[in-house]
Amino acid sequence: MAIAIPAIYRSTVGKKAVMAVTGGILVLYLVLHMVGNLKIFLGAEEFNHYAHWLRTMGEPAVPRRTVLTVIELVLGASVLLHMWSAVSLARRASAARPVKYQSRKKSHAQGYATRTMRYGGVIIAVYVVWHLLDLTFFALNPKGADATPYERMVADFDPSRWYITVWYVVAVLLVGLHLHHGIWSAFQTLGLRTPRSHNALRGLAATVAGAVTLGFVAVPLSITFGWVS
């Protein structure tokens, strides 16, 4: 069994399955994270309480931040496996076509989706690093570590820092495009797409991606335009 697992992963199907499963974990996290962010519309007390709960989950059974650390480790492993599988599949596809050629029948939509996933993934990675430095380690946040989570969020997207809001919205839009393409690809990889389910799964992928995108951009835009202060 110890030999079979690496053998499966070395196959194209295995790599695609890893991408699909790790992608599913990341989608679930994004949805839950979005729901948590939207608590800011319930007021400072509710949002700060939610942020405190994230760090105290499992107490007193386990020490402070234990559950959150485990979640972060799972997410980190999922990101690395997802990216490694994507790079491996891209290299394998490139090696299978050593001679580049032009084809009039090549799908422009397919080419656009591929470029979006590739370069969008790099921008998303940069965004994740910035987000961690900003709201997890507080190194880039105007209020720093001494402020409450609500204060840090509001300071981040203050109207005077409109360029941060623009950067955030662009990154989230790319996340939405990545999600839409990724969810649809996962359905195909897992063998869920059939002629009967095609339209329903397409709609589901678009709905999840659209909801996550709108949920995430709602917070910074509301702060920048003064609807949350």
pLDDT tens-digit readout, 67-108: 999 999 999 999 889 888 888 887 887 777 665 555 444 554
**Are the C-beta atoms of residues 211 and 174 closer than 8 Å to each other?**
no
The Cα–Cα gap between 200 and 87 comes to 29
pLDDT tens figures, 172-208: 998 998 899 888 888 887 788 888 898 999 999 999 9
pLDDT at 88: 87
User: 22 pLDDT exceeds 50?
Assistant: yes
Residues 10 and 184: their CA atoms lie apart, in Å, by: 23
Q: Among the residues of the chain, which ranges form H helices?
A: 4-10, 12-37, 44-56, 66-96, 108-135, 149-156, 162-189, 198-224
Looking at residue 127, what is its pLDDT?
85
Report the C-alpha gap between 198 and 43 in whole angstroms.
41
Which pLDDT score, from 0 to 100, does residue 124 have? Answer: 78
The pLDDT of 143-154, averaged and rounded, is 95
Using alpha carbons only, what angle is made at residue 21 by residues 17 and 24, rounded to the nearest 5 degrees? Answer: 140
Q: Provide the pLDDT confidence category of residue 1 given band limits of 50, 70 and 90.
A: very low
Q: What pLDDT band is residue 2 in, cutting at 50, 70 and 90? A: very low
* pLDDT tens-place string over residues 23-72: 899 999 999 999 999 999 999 999 999 999 999 999 999 999 999 999 99
If pLDDT is split at 50, 70 and 90, which confidence band does 20 have? confident
Measured between alpha carbons, how far is 52 from 98 in angstroms, rounded to an integer? 53
Write the burial class of residue 80 (CB in 10 Å: 0-12 exposed, 13-18 middle, 19+ buried): exposed
Enter the pTM of the model.
0.85
| Res. 3 pLDDT band, cuts 50 70 90 | very low
pLDDT bin (cut points 50, 70, 90) of residue 117 is: low
